[in-house]
Amino acid sequence: MRDSQVGKILSIDHPILQAGMPWISNPELVAAVSNAGGLGIIHPTAGMAPDGDIVANLRQNLRSVRRLTGNPFGVAFYLGNLRVEELVDVAIEESARIAITYGGSPALFTGLLKSNDVRVLHQVSTVRHARGAESQGVDIIIAEGYEGGGMRGPDENPNLVLIPQIVESISIPVVASGGIMDARGFVAAFALGAQGIQMGTRFVVTTECAAHSTYKSALMGAIDTGTVVAGRYHRPTRLLRSDAALRLREDTPDANVDVAGQWDADMGPMQARSAVLDGNLQGISYCGAGVGMASEMLDAGEVIKRLVDGAQTIINEIR
């Protein structure tokens, strides 16, 4: 795994990415992951007040991460954000070198980013989108299985079938994302053809993550049925099980409703902020299907160490 193409392209020791999670991919978490040899990924909204300026917040976060680590780290860009062009400009101005794009066409900014010496990773959930992203010049594909938290692909493809098909369809490296929580998932991703992994939920339950302690405790107390998928008929979104999430799961599409606007009002990032930053679990929060394995609070560096050491043990046992 040390010879992974993902590690070489990103100049990191271990092909382990910490997902750029809204509100809680804070500088301290990002730096801790990067200092441990993985790739920390900052989110523009990390720690931001509800009425904050997302562009100014990203600039501050980038400078904070740089004070905490000299190792590579990435920036997550939701391509549907109305101010995404400004966010990309700020990242370039602040000399960011790795970008993760999702929720839109890679044709939008891949050329601009790469012309400024930025490595580009694009998240997809289908073979068709993986091929399209490769044709636009991205460096690495992040294959998002249905197991992951937050908005999911409508085709409901789990990693077991998604990753091999994407790997066989493109020539650039693939990172597996969704439901990976420990060394077993790490090894399994490589067995499926991926050359790296991305984890979100497991990195929430770390000492460095800015998530509220009540939210972290809820994740640690969850079991295998701890998530639900709401909005299944329009914008599937995996949420931590709650009364609000269960109500949303029963919603059916209405032809007279603006789907994007309704999703934003019901399950958009602003709706999740209260839970993850303030600990108000009466609403909704994003969470991956592997949450039942996030039962222990660890330092981010220890998470990576257990992934790397555990993977080697598994490989040795298989041999």
**Average pLDDT, integer, range 44-64:** 97
Please check whether residue 123 is in contact with residue 144, taking contact to mean a CB–CB distance below 8 angstroms. yes
The predicted pLDDT at position 253 comes to 65
Q: How far is CA 1 from the centre of its chain?
A: 21
Q: Residue 2: which pLDDT band, with cuts at 50, 70 and 90? A: low
What does the angle CA 227 – CA 232 – CA 237 come to, to the nearest 5 degrees? 50
**Would the pLDDT of 310 be above 80?**
yes
What pLDDT digit, counting tens, does each position of 13-34 carry? 999 999 999 999 999 999 999 9
Q: Residue 319: which pLDDT band, with cuts at 50, 70 and 90? A: confident
- Nearest by Cα to 19 from 134, 112, 133, 121: 121
Q: Which residues contact 47 (CB under 8 A, 6 or more apart)?
A: 23, 26, 57, 61, 210, 277
Q: Residue 234: which pLDDT band, with cuts at 50, 70 and 90? A: confident
pLDDT > 70: percent of the chain: 98
What pLDDT digit, counting tens, does each position of 160-199 carry? 999 999 999 999 999 999 999 999 999 999 999 999 999 9
d(CA 68, CA 95): 16
d(CA 122, CA 101): 5
Please check whether residue 276 is in contact with residue 212, taking contact to mean a CB–CB distance below 8 angstroms. yes
Average pLDDT value for the chain: 95
3-state DSSP helix/strand/coil % of the chain, to nearest 5:
45, 15, 40
Q: Identify the structural domains of the chain with CATH numbers, from first to last.
A: 5-207+295-314 (3.20.20.70), 213-290 (no CATH)
Concatenated DSSP letters of 213-247: HHHHHHHHH--TT-EEEE-TTTS-EEEE--HHHHH
The predicted pLDDT at position 263 comes to 85
Q: Which residues contact 98 (CB under 8 A, 6 or more apart)?
A: 10, 39, 41, 72, 73, 74, 75, 118, 119, 121
Q: Residue 255: which pLDDT band, with cuts at 50, 70 and 90? A: low
